Structure 1
């Protein structure tokens, strides 16, 4: 997710605002210290402009 976020030119704080997911949670997810719930993945995917399947290795 971090690579996609950076390609979109988006900081963690900006993604947090766009997605409604806390910046701390985004950091933990990107560091691999937290596994996001499905609802969190949907919010992040929508904010980043991809399908949820993107996070499971499928191309958008």
Structure 2
């Protein structure tokens, strides 16, 4: 009886650890995606600013 309880407790602990690991991986993926979007926005803004600067130079 005690062995079955210990086995069940170990199964539950393992399940909780697996869920925590998956949640952590999902969080990391979300943060990486957010960082990538920020980098893309930064590059886009830099390109737009550079393009506008070039247009202004052409007008002068």
Q: TM-score, normalised by structure 1?
A: 0.22
Structure with more helix by fraction? 2
Which fold has the larger relative contact order, with Cα–Cα distance below 8 Å and residues 6 or more apart in sequence?
1
Q: TM-score, normalised by structure 2?
A: 0.22
